Chain A
Amino acid sequence: TQLLEQSPQFLSIQEGENLTVYCNSSSVFSSLQWYRQEPGEGPVLLVTVVTGGEVKKLKRLTFQFGDARKDSSLHITAAQPGDTGLYLCAGVRSGNTPLVFGKGTRLSVIA
Protein backbone atom coordinates (compact mmCIF):
# COMPACT_ATOMS: atom_id res chain seq x y z
CA THR A 1 0.00 0.00 0.00
CA GLN A 2 1.42 3.35 -1.03
CA LEU A 3 1.06 6.05 1.59
CA LEU A 4 1.46 9.77 1.34
CA GLU A 5 2.27 11.46 4.62
CA GLN A 6 1.53 15.15 4.90
CA SER A 7 2.98 17.45 7.51
CA PRO A 8 2.13 19.37 9.46
CA GLN A 9 -1.41 18.20 9.96
CA PHE A 10 -2.49 21.62 11.25
CA LEU A 11 -0.88 25.01 10.78
CA SER A 12 -2.02 28.35 12.12
CA ILE A 13 -0.06 31.46 11.10
CA GLN A 14 -0.39 35.21 10.95
CA GLU A 15 -1.14 37.04 7.73
CA GLY A 16 2.06 37.90 5.87
CA GLU A 17 4.09 34.92 7.12
CA ASN A 18 5.63 32.30 4.86
CA LEU A 19 4.99 28.59 5.25
CA THR A 20 5.90 25.24 3.77
CA VAL A 21 3.89 22.03 3.88
CA TYR A 22 5.30 18.65 2.99
CA CYS A 23 4.12 15.50 1.28
CA ASN A 24 6.34 12.44 1.68
CA SER A 25 6.28 8.83 0.59
CA SER A 26 8.58 5.84 0.35
CA SER A 27 7.12 5.09 -3.08
CA VAL A 28 7.75 6.65 -6.47
CA PHE A 29 4.91 8.42 -8.24
CA SER A 30 4.67 9.23 -11.93
CA SER A 31 2.96 12.50 -11.04
CA LEU A 32 1.71 14.29 -8.01
CA GLN A 33 -1.19 16.67 -7.73
CA TRP A 34 -1.97 19.31 -5.14
CA TYR A 35 -5.57 20.11 -4.34
CA ARG A 36 -7.30 22.57 -2.08
CA GLN A 37 -10.54 21.56 -0.40
CA GLU A 38 -13.06 23.78 1.36
CA PRO A 39 -15.45 22.29 3.96
CA GLY A 40 -18.30 20.39 2.30
CA GLU A 41 -16.85 20.79 -1.19
CA GLY A 42 -14.79 18.75 -3.61
CA PRO A 43 -11.01 19.01 -4.03
CA VAL A 44 -9.98 21.72 -6.48
CA LEU A 45 -6.86 21.01 -8.52
CA LEU A 46 -4.07 23.54 -8.01
CA VAL A 47 -1.15 22.01 -9.88
CA THR A 48 0.35 18.80 -11.23
CA VAL A 49 4.07 18.06 -11.03
CA VAL A 50 5.54 15.36 -13.20
CA THR A 51 9.31 15.62 -13.56
CA GLY A 52 11.71 14.98 -10.69
CA GLY A 53 13.01 18.32 -9.39
CA GLU A 54 10.26 20.24 -11.14
CA VAL A 55 9.20 23.58 -9.65
CA LYS A 56 5.91 25.23 -10.53
CA LYS A 57 4.62 28.59 -9.36
CA LEU A 58 1.04 29.73 -9.00
CA LYS A 59 1.10 33.35 -7.84
CA ARG A 60 2.35 33.15 -4.22
CA LEU A 61 2.35 29.34 -4.19
CA THR A 62 5.47 27.38 -5.17
CA PHE A 63 5.28 23.63 -5.69
CA GLN A 64 8.28 21.34 -5.93
CA PHE A 65 8.54 17.67 -6.83
CA GLY A 66 11.44 15.80 -5.28
CA ASP A 67 14.26 14.57 -7.49
CA ALA A 68 13.33 10.96 -6.82
CA ARG A 69 9.59 11.68 -7.31
CA LYS A 70 8.79 10.44 -3.82
CA ASP A 71 8.03 13.74 -2.13
CA SER A 72 6.75 17.22 -2.77
CA SER A 73 6.41 20.54 -1.01
CA LEU A 74 4.13 23.54 -1.19
CA HIS A 75 5.51 26.90 -0.13
CA ILE A 76 3.24 29.91 0.35
CA THR A 77 4.76 33.37 0.48
CA ALA A 78 3.08 36.17 2.42
CA ALA A 79 0.05 34.10 3.38
CA GLN A 80 -3.36 35.76 3.29
CA PRO A 81 -6.62 34.84 5.04
CA GLY A 82 -7.94 33.70 1.67
CA ASP A 83 -5.32 30.93 1.69
CA THR A 84 -7.11 29.26 4.59
CA GLY A 85 -8.21 25.74 3.71
CA LEU A 86 -7.25 22.07 3.53
CA TYR A 87 -4.33 21.34 1.20
CA LEU A 88 -4.18 17.79 -0.15
CA CYS A 89 -1.46 16.06 -2.07
CA ALA A 90 -2.34 13.07 -4.22
CA GLY A 91 -0.05 10.81 -6.21
CA VAL A 92 -0.51 8.71 -9.32
CA ARG A 93 1.50 5.50 -9.58
CA SER A 94 1.32 5.28 -13.38
CA GLY A 95 -0.96 5.89 -16.32
CA ASN A 96 -4.57 6.32 -15.32
CA THR A 97 -4.34 4.56 -11.99
CA PRO A 98 -6.35 6.15 -9.19
CA LEU A 99 -5.07 8.90 -6.97
CA VAL A 100 -3.60 8.08 -3.57
CA PHE A 101 -4.36 10.93 -1.21
CA GLY A 102 -2.62 12.22 1.87
CA LYS A 103 -4.64 13.26 4.90
CA GLY A 104 -4.00 16.92 4.20
CA THR A 105 -2.67 19.99 5.94
CA ARG A 106 -5.30 22.27 7.41
CA LEU A 107 -4.05 25.84 7.13
CA SER A 108 -5.49 28.77 9.01
CA VAL A 109 -4.23 32.28 8.23
CA ILE A 110 -5.21 34.83 10.81
CA ALA A 111 -5.60 38.48 9.83
Chain B
Amino acid sequence: EPEVTQTPSHQVTQMGQEVILHCVPISNHLYFYWYRQILGQKVEFLVSFYNNEISEKSEIFDDQFSVERPDGSNFTLKIRSTKLEDSAMYFCASSFRDAYSSYNEQFFGPGTRLTVL
Protein backbone atom coordinates (compact mmCIF):
# COMPACT_ATOMS: atom_id res chain seq x y z
CA GLU B 1 0.00 0.00 0.00
CA PRO B 2 1.43 3.43 -0.93
CA GLU B 3 2.66 5.52 1.96
CA VAL B 4 4.31 8.84 2.71
CA THR B 5 7.95 8.48 3.71
CA GLN B 6 10.13 10.93 5.61
CA THR B 7 13.85 11.23 6.25
CA PRO B 8 15.66 11.48 8.52
CA SER B 9 13.66 9.96 11.35
CA HIS B 10 15.64 12.02 13.87
CA GLN B 11 17.68 15.17 13.32
CA VAL B 12 19.78 16.85 16.00
CA THR B 13 21.16 20.29 15.25
CA GLN B 14 22.70 23.29 16.94
CA MET B 15 20.71 26.48 17.35
CA GLY B 16 21.23 28.74 14.35
CA GLN B 17 21.97 25.94 11.92
CA GLU B 18 19.95 25.19 8.81
CA VAL B 19 18.06 21.93 8.49
CA ILE B 20 16.23 20.35 5.59
CA LEU B 21 13.57 17.75 6.21
CA HIS B 22 12.69 15.40 3.39
CA CYS B 23 9.41 13.84 2.37
CA VAL B 24 8.29 11.61 -0.47
CA PRO B 25 4.50 11.95 -0.81
CA ILE B 26 2.27 9.26 -2.26
CA SER B 27 2.99 9.24 -5.98
CA ASN B 28 -0.37 10.26 -7.47
CA HIS B 29 -1.17 12.85 -4.80
CA LEU B 30 -1.48 16.49 -5.74
CA TYR B 31 -1.55 18.36 -2.43
CA PHE B 32 1.26 18.38 0.08
CA TYR B 33 1.41 19.62 3.65
CA TRP B 34 3.75 20.10 6.55
CA TYR B 35 2.53 19.94 10.12
CA ARG B 36 4.40 19.96 13.39
CA GLN B 37 3.71 18.60 16.85
CA ILE B 38 5.55 19.94 19.86
CA LEU B 39 5.88 17.30 22.57
CA GLY B 40 2.60 16.91 24.43
CA GLN B 41 0.74 19.37 22.23
CA LYS B 42 -1.62 19.05 19.31
CA VAL B 43 -0.70 18.75 15.67
CA GLU B 44 -0.40 22.21 14.07
CA PHE B 45 -0.54 23.15 10.41
CA LEU B 46 2.48 24.86 8.87
CA VAL B 47 2.03 25.05 5.10
CA SER B 48 0.23 23.52 2.14
CA PHE B 49 1.57 23.24 -1.39
CA TYR B 50 -0.17 22.66 -4.69
CA ASN B 51 0.83 23.09 -8.31
CA ASN B 52 4.36 24.09 -7.34
CA GLU B 53 3.40 26.92 -5.07
CA ILE B 54 2.31 27.56 -1.50
CA SER B 55 -1.47 27.57 -1.28
CA GLU B 56 -1.81 28.38 2.41
CA LYS B 57 0.47 28.95 5.39
CA SER B 58 0.01 29.49 9.11
CA GLU B 59 1.47 32.18 11.37
CA ILE B 60 4.11 29.68 12.45
CA PHE B 61 5.48 29.51 8.90
CA ASP B 62 7.55 32.70 8.98
CA ASP B 63 10.51 33.79 6.86
CA GLN B 64 12.75 31.18 8.48
CA PHE B 65 10.75 28.42 6.79
CA SER B 66 10.58 27.47 3.14
CA VAL B 67 9.29 24.54 1.12
CA GLU B 68 10.33 23.14 -2.19
CA ARG B 69 9.44 20.38 -4.57
CA PRO B 70 12.80 20.00 -6.33
CA ASP B 71 11.72 17.09 -8.53
CA GLY B 72 8.67 14.97 -9.24
CA SER B 73 8.85 13.02 -6.03
CA ASN B 74 10.43 14.95 -3.16
CA PHE B 75 8.94 17.65 -0.97
CA THR B 76 11.25 19.44 1.46
CA LEU B 77 10.92 21.75 4.43
CA LYS B 78 13.87 24.03 5.18
CA ILE B 79 14.42 25.91 8.41
CA ARG B 80 17.14 28.48 7.80
CA SER B 81 18.26 29.31 11.32
CA THR B 82 16.84 26.91 13.87
CA LYS B 83 15.69 28.05 17.30
CA LEU B 84 15.22 26.03 20.45
CA GLU B 85 11.46 26.31 20.07
CA ASP B 86 11.60 24.62 16.66
CA SER B 87 12.19 21.31 18.44
CA ALA B 88 9.19 19.15 17.52
CA MET B 89 7.98 16.27 15.40
CA TYR B 90 7.48 17.41 11.82
CA PHE B 91 4.96 15.53 9.74
CA CYS B 92 4.54 15.58 6.00
CA ALA B 93 1.13 14.73 4.58
CA SER B 94 -0.31 14.38 1.10
CA SER B 95 -3.74 14.09 -0.41
CA PHE B 96 -5.38 13.49 -3.75
CA ARG B 97 -8.46 15.46 -4.64
CA ASP B 98 -9.77 16.03 -8.12
CA ALA B 99 -12.95 17.63 -9.42
CA TYR B 100 -14.91 14.47 -8.61
CA SER B 101 -13.84 14.17 -4.97
CA SER B 102 -16.10 15.67 -2.36
CA TYR B 103 -13.55 15.55 0.42
CA ASN B 104 -9.84 15.62 1.10
CA GLU B 105 -8.19 12.74 2.96
CA GLN B 106 -4.70 13.48 4.15
CA PHE B 107 -2.18 10.71 4.72
CA PHE B 108 0.71 11.34 7.07
CA GLY B 109 4.30 10.21 7.08
CA PRO B 110 6.02 8.79 10.18
CA GLY B 111 7.59 12.14 11.04
CA THR B 112 11.03 13.60 11.67
CA ARG B 113 11.92 14.35 15.25
CA LEU B 114 13.91 17.61 15.23
CA THR B 115 15.95 18.41 18.31
CA VAL B 116 17.58 21.84 18.48
CA LEU B 117 20.32 22.18 21.11
Q: Cβ of A100: which chain B residues have Cβ within 8 Å of it?
A: 45
- Chain B proximity of A42: nearest CB distance (Å): 4
- Docked-complex contact A31 and B104, CB < 8 angstroms: yes
Name B's interface SS.
strand
Q: Is A104 an interface residue (CB 8 A)?
A: yes
Contacts A33-B105, A96-B50 given; indicate if A42 touches B91 (C-beta within 8 A): yes
Nearest B residue to A32 via CB reads B103
Q: Which residues of A contact B (CB under 8 A)?
A: 30-31, 33, 35, 40-45, 48, 50, 88, 90, 92, 95-104
- Chain B proximity of A37: nearest CB distance (Å): 8
**A72 CA / B89 CA spacing, docked (Å):** 26
- Chain A proximity of B64: nearest CB distance (Å): 19
- Docked-complex contact A43 and B42, CB < 8 angstroms: no
